[in-house]
Chains A and B, each alone.
Chain A
Amino acid sequence: MKIARRFLIGIPFLWLLVLFLIPFGIVFKISLSDYAISIPPYTPQLDGMSWDSFRTFFGQIDFENYVFLTTDHLYWKAYLSSLQIATLSMIFTLLVGFPIAYGMANAPDHWRATLMMLIILPFWTSFLIRVYAWQGILSTEGVLNQFLLWTGIISEPLKMLNTNFAVYIGIVYTYLPFMILPIYATLEKLDASLLEAAEDLGCSRAKAFWLVTVPLSKSGVIAGCFLVFIPALGEFVIPSLLGGSRTLMIGKVLFEEFFNNRDWPVASTVAVILLLILIIPIVLFQRNQEKQQEAEK
């Protein structure tokens, strides 16, 4: 019994320890090293487990990369513009997603399973392909420009691909299900009699929506916002495919430092700082989840 229990806890625990937690330790260690032209391209290396090698190792590590990152404008700008892009696209996704979730929650009962499936279906198809689809739509000769020219709304093709606008569209499009599903879940549970009561008490429909529906859907909105904001912050694929050379996002910077410049220490430092920035929303999110669970009990 005891052994079986240890076995059950031990295996997944060890797996995560070795393949999830320890790797972060390594990232942190390398962020304290210096770039070097060698294999692997950083120094110092910890050679051997003797006291001497530890001492020389600890003598050589420093926070130089962190200082470098704070003094270089590129990284500041990249972090700030990632935060801005993630925040704005979170707001846009909310604006697009809320009406859809609301419409789904108020649709006739027998429709809802189908609507739900239609929301999840794109989520099961390749993320990369969904982003790529927008390349053909947003390019200067693309479908959208052709359509706008044909209707006469514009007389010259607009430059949409390789701009931040395209990045916003890409994020809203691919993360929409993450916003819709939690909002739908809270709206679906909402007791319709509350709205009737509000209307009986003299609220207009719009006012009842604002005073009853919106506050009661708060937990779903918050969950949806976090589910969009957090992955959007470290996004790499969307800015690389749809954003221009001036679109700065920290995920892209990290990828380029690592693969193009082969500067592993700086890439690791970028990752550690991104992680620190992320810990704040993650802790907030977890608190919100706990509150919600307590409220449900």
Chain B
Amino acid sequence: MRRLTWFNAVSLTIGFAFLYVPMLILIIYSFNESRLVTVWAGFSTKWYGELFQNEAFLDAAWVTLKVAVISSTIATILGTMAAQVLVRGGRFKGRTLFSGMIYAPLVMPEVITGLSLMLLFISLGLDRGTFTIVLAHATFSMCYVSVVVSSRLVSFDKSLEEAALDLGCTPFDAFKSVTLPIIAPAVISGWLLAFTLSLDDLVIASFTSGPSATTLPMKIWSSVRMGVSPQINALSTILISMVTIGVIAASITTKRRVIQAKRDEQMAEAQ
């Protein structure tokens, strides 16, 4: 019944053109010899060269990566715990407050989250830097992780875990050897989501970092405000290609896994 009518084809083409043409233009102009967007002065990779000479960018990239790895790991642990509480926790005092605090950061404007965390760090007398950005990122990403993980936990059969408990597992062992392997895909995608959220964040990082730590988005922000800069085009091209390769690789692996699972199922049925 599903067929591609001309209307659907046109709306998809225009829609995807709208999404991708701007990024394509960015990539093309990263190879432009001229500094201006107006003139095409021939193919050149000089902006890439300048980018890799630019130590401020490299330092910022390193800080960003460090923050993203640490904060998304903390967020994944806390978020998975929170998802367990949300789905399996039963009734306890403060449950409504708890689920409210899990969902609220998802819709909170970043300026408010950033401002409130900065005021907290100042009242606590914490020195702002990499550490405070990590705390801030872990906090807002754990909510995304818990939403992703709890959607998987809801659909998974609780009796498996109970069986493990009946067979003498401690709750932690049951979680480690039964629940975790089953929810692992959700935990991994939660980590990846937290990781990209952290890589991408400008506003919260600007509020919670001090002079000692600058993340890549903050660095991009300060150069972009000065107007179009070809080095940023080069940097964007690198980031876009990294993401594209990553996503394509991930989708190929999942596709393979799905095919493999189907084959296993057929084998099992044949026997």
- Give me the interface of A with B, judged by CB distance under 8 Å: 1, 4, 8-9, 11-13, 15-24, 26-27, 30, 40, 96, 99-100, 102-104, 106-109, 113, 115, 117-122, 124-130, 132-137, 139, 141-143, 146, 173, 176, 192, 196, 226, 230-231, 233-237, 240-241, 251, 254-255, 258, 264, 267-268, 271, 274-275, 278, 282, 285-286
Cβ distance B178 to chain A, nearest Cβ, rounded Å: 16
B2 touches A103 (CB 8 A): no
Contact of A106 among B4, B15, B36, B101 (CB under 8 A): B4
- Give me the interface of B with A, judged by CB distance under 8 Å: 1-5, 7-9, 11-12, 15-16, 18-20, 22-23, 25-26, 29, 36-38, 78-79, 81-82, 84-85, 89, 92, 94, 98, 101-105, 107-112, 115-117, 119-120, 122-123, 135-136, 139, 142, 146, 170-172, 196, 199-200, 202-203, 207, 217, 220-221, 224-225, 227-228, 232, 236, 239-240, 243-244, 246-247, 251, 255
A236 touches B203 (CB 8 A): yes
A109: B residues at CB distance < 8 A: 2
Contact of B247 among A17, A20, A124, A139 (CB under 8 A): A124
**Known contacts A12-B82, A132-B224, A143-B37: does B139 contact A230 (CB below 8 Å)?**
no
B29: A residues at CB distance < 8 A: 136
B101: A residues at CB distance < 8 A: 13, 16-17, 20-21
Cβ distance B30 to chain A, nearest Cβ, rounded Å: 11
B236 touches A126 (CB 8 A): yes
B111 touches A234 (CB 8 A): yes
A113–B2 Cα distance when bound, in Å, is: 15
B12 touches A130 (CB 8 A): no
Contact of A8 among B11, B85, B94 (CB under 8 A): B85
Cβ distance B184 to chain A, nearest Cβ, rounded Å: 19
A271 touches B115 (CB 8 A): yes
A282: B residues at CB distance < 8 A: 104, 107
| Number of residue pairs spanning A and B whose beta carbons lie under 8 angstroms apart | 228
A108 touches B2 (CB 8 A): yes
Cβ distance A23 to chain B, nearest Cβ, rounded Å: 3
Taking A100-B11, A230-B109, A271-B116 as known contacts, 4 extra A-B pairs with beta carbons closer than 8 A to each other, sorted by chain A number, are A11-B78, A26-B123, A122-B20, A234-B110
B104 touches A15 (CB 8 A): no
**Known contacts A20-B101, A264-B119, A268-B119: does B22 contact A173 (CB below 8 Å)?**
yes
A11–B8 Cα distance when bound, in Å, is: 49
Closest CB pairs A-B (n = 9) = A234-B109, A23-B116, A99-B11, A100-B15, A103-B8, A12-B82, A103-B12, A133-B22, A23-B120
B139 touches A254 (CB 8 A): no
Cβ distance A195 to chain B, nearest Cβ, rounded Å: 9
B89: A residues at CB distance < 8 A: 8-9
Q: Considering only CB atoms, which chain B residue lies closest to A45 in the complex?
A: B123
A236: B residues at CB distance < 8 A: 110-111, 203
A16 touches B107 (CB 8 A): no
A93–B211 Cα distance when bound, in Å, is: 38
